[in-house]
Structure 1
């Protein structure tokens, strides 16, 4: 299937102020899409079923990118599992049910690579889903996202809807969350190394051993993948989105340290959890659609640090 998104299609980017949603919104605007539908969380709480249904009844989107979610790093997921489960399940169920009710033709649900088993064969294929136990530090979030995948499949099976789901790898880029309590590993490193540099290149302590392998994708590359998937993919199975290339957390730390210009010591706190040992995605299905990442990791880290410097003052308020 190959079907271009009409430039006048009414597209709801749910979560347009978040890391993913803002990148998708920027990309669609740059492509010339004229009818983008947005609402901030203060204007529309997607956890509220009645409000979500009212919004869809009034706005009547034709396409939905479901990027709205409660997200966080290993500490936040491990500390607030009930919140991550409850908020995400409600957002997903409300949006997908409202989309079905009010005639949305295409919907892309964005999940996460954490849906796959902790010890899945590498690189992780889409058919690894539900074949093993999850990483316990974020299992509640993962189960919520798995339920979203199954909801997409159920809507396809029962109602014949052309809804799909995509599982991105670890994302980073402009608009990221740099709060040390709730952020993911890469933006947390940027902030830690920057603050240590300002403090006369003080030592930086990082969680774990540095040995886990992780894959990172710039969010602008994800945004391009979103459009490719909406136009060219129509299958009940989720589709992975990543670079297909990973590196150790230790190597990532050195790359971030270099980009920031920190010259101090790195201390690894092995008493803290490492998480899943490796998460490298098999992106064969996506590359077969003609998509490939364009932003190299070192370039992406550098530009993300520049964005952080430009917005540091407003983030500290």
Structure 2
């Protein structure tokens, strides 16, 4: 029940009851209605312009999203580097290690097989960056599978190696001139320009430029079969028979440190860099034979080169330049 209100009438000197005017309630209602409509209109304007107004929380989320995209790009670059290194290891595994130990090469489709059947990446669908996240996860899964395949292959090779320690010691597996003694890796295996005739011809070894007198080391255990200068073009040179069909040759030497018939170990000092025979400048011409066939020496430096050094040498060896002999 509403309270009755009074006011003091100074003319009659008495309290009189306040009478409510008709239509007052209706006016208050209409005023309230107009206020609500105006407030709603203002709120509608704010809502329609929200896409152009970022709250602090939205700005923070946008920064986090940009950082996530940047991190995924970095992750993809790292995966690409890992894929390149793994591909190099796989090539050496198939063409070197597994050949040496008479194991069948692993087929390319087995190394790079994906994952069939159920969609493993359905949980990443429906988002703004679904494609980026899905592709990154696919690459990571394939890379992980390749690592598992390669790891099992190397385990198999390790088991075979235990039975063939003598073979491992005999394989010419180190660079015959130390990196710190090199001026540069002058020429690799393949077609090169002859320094004397300027004709394009096949170069069957690798040329290591170094000052005269730089030490040359045996790249594997074996027996020296030649230490003379009677072979055409090679000048003073050494041949080492490593057994198992392997032989290494070191040409254009300044002088020898071994004699024919001498048994040497990998890393033994056998001679010194020179420029004898058909040579344009002091360097070591190095060749490897397998079953009397010349093969690329680039695959035989796993014994003393880091992955980075090997990658650098591999790149330089592919350059088709002028040989030194």
The TM-score with structure 1 as length reference comes to 0.22
Larger Cα-atom Rg: 2
* Larger RCO: 1 or 2 (CA < 8 Å, sep 6+): 1
Structure with the higher fraction of residues in strand conformation? 2
The TM-score with structure 2 as length reference comes to 0.22
